[in-house]
Amino acid sequence: MDEMLQDFLTEAGELLSDVDRKLVDLEKRPGDSGLLNDIFRGFHTIKGGAGFLTLPAMVDLCHLTETLFDLLRRNELKLNAGIMDAILAATGVVRVMFDDLGRGAQPQPADDALLAKLRAIVSGEPKTKSIAAAPASVTVAASAVAAPLASAEPDWQAFYDSITRVVAPKAQARDVVTNPNGRRASDNPAADEPVVGRRTTDRVAVARETTIRIDTARLDQVLTLSGELGLAKNRLNCLRQDIISGRSDADMLHTFDEAIDQLDLVVGDLQRAVMKTRMQPIGRLFQKYPRMARDLARSLGKEVDLVLEGEDTELDRAMIDDLADPLIHLVRNAVDHGIELPEVRAAASKPARSTVWLTASQEGDHVAIVIRDDGRGMNPEVLRRKAFEKGLIDADAVNRLDANQSLHLVFLPGFSTKEEVSSISGRGVGMDVVKTGIEKLNGRIEIESEVGIGTTFRISLPLTLAILPVLIVKHGTQPFAVPLGMVHEIITLEAGSLQHVGGHATIVVREQVLSVRSLASLLGWSSGAAPRYGVLMQSAHATFVLAVDDYVGREDVVIKPLADIRPAGIAGATLAGDGSIVLILDIEPLLQAATPEPVAAFA
């Protein structure tokens, strides 16, 4: 029974998200028979599953809504704002019922006011007061503060034990209600604020969904490659016995090399095939946002269309789940901050109805997600003034910022351009959470904006977190890894190439003056000889040169979390081919905690 319930919640949750999206489209095209039929079938299917599982409260609500849509599609009823409000309130209550089921509770009947409203609409009674959609509310949880990396070298045996021991997997719990298809209660505006016709529920921690749908063709490929891996193992065992028995010669060693090459090829193909089983279309996440944007725009008195593109772009399932909160903030900020009121747009000779685009596309080994609006844009001068007034930066820093750097001020914790705090924004939380969330996924976010034209947020993410492309660098003999996505090039640090600017070490690269930071200083370790190489890197806020003693090259590594150990600036670890530990650096915390270095430090 538990398995059947889980299947129902997964299928019905996705179906309800699709219904929500089509309801937003129906509001723009109320006579679209295709949409009316699709939504009718959606409620009918959910009702059927609920009836099979003996869930009378859900059956009653879905039956009323299904009947309403039957009247609409037969032209016996005309859609208006009041009816749409009742329908959207009903979908919000159904989702709350899903949440109850997900945590093992029996769904309670919908509020009597909502049921009465739906019955009145179906029976043709005079219209009652419309049910207003409430704005979404996004709760930001404070992230854990990492312990600083000690100035002395760490206990390597503890690190080794941490990343090689077998640790039982732990369920990742959240502090918001989620249903089994990964939807948080805060994703749905109707599930966060009490409205007429629905009840509220206590927020509880629910385990994250751990099941995914996989195309059987991908599983067949994994099975085939597993068979090839077995053949390669058998071949190596035979060669091993020949070598042990002393029957090796030059030809046999050549055959051994060929077998190793074949094994390397099969393992690489198998890794890629397994990664593909984790890939899911990002559309399952995107489909949540049209309803959210619609409800928020309506509560603000704005007219907004959310356009989705590239929904079939695939991304690691774990990353899709972790993208939900950052994208919620970006879409909400576009509607709240970016888009003007209709009368303001009309005065600027812009269409009263605005557009927000949410697009995804694959670019090589990365996925690009773009959130763009045709709103008011951001004024760099206003951002600099606000940051200074709030004490987030000092006067010297303000004067050093160019236009692009000024746009990134929105990512500072506590930054807000709102004069008054509302239920939607103004507390200075949100955009810093976006940046932190993207960086945790080894991604980066960039901003482009033009006053009066609009703003674009561009996110670049690796396809998967299972395998991370890195550059291996060294401090002394200890190897470290930096995400390859941050690396632009490697340069040689020649004697006399460093300059002293404002008390800091700098270097000129193609007429650009860049800050130089030594790896030893960032880690708080003692420095030996002057670093020989510089890695030109781009972080979320700055371009700089990381000075290192040596570099090994590019590798694809599997990140192993450090169980019970979380030093600041270390994202995880991996093992090199020779068995040595390679620490994977988390660059941003290291930069924030370190102080600029004088040229003398590199002598």
Which residues face 527 on adjacent strands?
none
Q: What pLDDT score does 171 carry?
A: 36
How sure is the predictor about 182, in pLDDT bands with cuts at 50, 70 and 90?
very low
* pTM of the entire predicted model: 0.61
Q: What pLDDT score does 529 carry?
A: 77
Task: Summarize pLDDT for 484-507 with one digit per residue, the tens.
Answer: 878 889 998 887 788 877 667 888
Residues 6+ apart with CB under 8 A from 125: none
How many C-beta neighbours within 10 Å does residue 197 have? 23
User: Among the listed ranges 146-160, 368-382, 433-447, which one has the minimum average pLDDT value?
Assistant: 146-160
From the options 1.10.287.110, 3.30.565.10, 3.90.1210.10, 3.40.50.2300, give the CATH code of 280-462. Answer: 3.30.565.10
Task: Summarize pLDDT for 117-129 with one digit per residue, the tens.
Answer: 999 998 876 544 4
Short-list 567, 601, 561, 570, CA closest to 588: 570
Backbone angles phi, psi at 168, to 5 degrees: -65, 135
Which is more confidently placed, 413 or 488? 488
Which is more confidently placed, 558 or 134? 558
Q: What pLDDT score does 141 carry?
A: 42
How sure is the predictor about 148, in pLDDT bands with cuts at 50, 70 and 90?
very low
DSSP letter string over 60-95? HHHHHHHHHHHHHHTTSS---HHHHHHHHHHHHHHH
Could you please state the CATH topology (level 3) that the domain comprising 2-134 is classified under: Four Helix Bundle (Hemerythrin (Met), subunit A) (1.20.120)
Say how far apart CA 514 and CA 509 lie, in whole Å. 7
How sure is the predictor about 594, in pLDDT bands with cuts at 50, 70 and 90?
low
Ranges for all domains in the chain classified under CATH 3.30.565.10: 280-462
CATH number of 468-602: 2.40.50.180
How many C-beta neighbours within 10 Å does residue 205 have? 13
Q: What pLDDT score does 372 carry?
A: 95
Task: Summarize pLDDT for 312-351 with one digit per residue, the tens.
Answer: 998 888 788 888 889 989 999 999 989 999 999 999 999 9
DSSP letter string over 4-65? HHHHHHHHHHHHHHHHHHHHHHHHH-TT-HHHHHHHHHHHHHHHHHHHHTT-HHHHHHHHHH
Task: Summarize pLDDT for 47-79 with one digit per residue, the tens.
Answer: 888 888 888 999 999 999 999 998 998 888 888
Task: Summarize pLDDT for 557-585 with one digit per residue, the tens.
Answer: 877 766 566 666 777 788 877 777 888 88
Q: What pLDDT score does 160 carry?
A: 56
Q: What pLDDT score does 178 carry?
A: 33
Q: What pLDDT score does 427 carry?
A: 35
Contact indicator for 140, 226 with CB cutoff of 8 Å: no
Most confident among 158-167, 181-190, 263-272 (mean pLDDT): 263-272
Q: What pLDDT score does 353 carry?
A: 92
How sure is the predictor about 252, in pLDDT bands with cuts at 50, 70 and 90?
confident
Q: What pLDDT score does 174 carry?
A: 33
Ranges for all domains in the chain classified under CATH 1.20.120.160: 2-134
Q: What is the mean pLDDT of the chain?
A: 77
* Percent of the residues in the chain that have a pLDDT greater than 70, as a whole number: 78
User: Among the listed ranges 15-29, 124-138, 154-168, 559-573, which one has the minimum average pLDDT value?
Assistant: 124-138
Ranges for all domains in the chain classified under CATH 1.10.287: 216-278
**pLDDT exceeds 90 at position 538:** no
Q: Is CATH 1.25.40 the right assignment for the domain spanning 216-278? A: no
Contact indicator for 525, 151 with CB cutoff of 8 Å: yes
How sure is the predictor about 421, in pLDDT bands with cuts at 50, 70 and 90?
very low
Ranges for all domains in the chain classified under CATH 2.40.50.180: 468-602
Task: Summarize pLDDT for 264-304 with one digit per residue, the tens.
Answer: 888 888 877 887 788 888 988 898 888 889 889 988 999 99
Q: What pLDDT score does 250 carry?
A: 67
Q: Please report which residue ranges of 245-316 form alpha helices under DSSP H.
A: 250-277, 283-286, 289-300
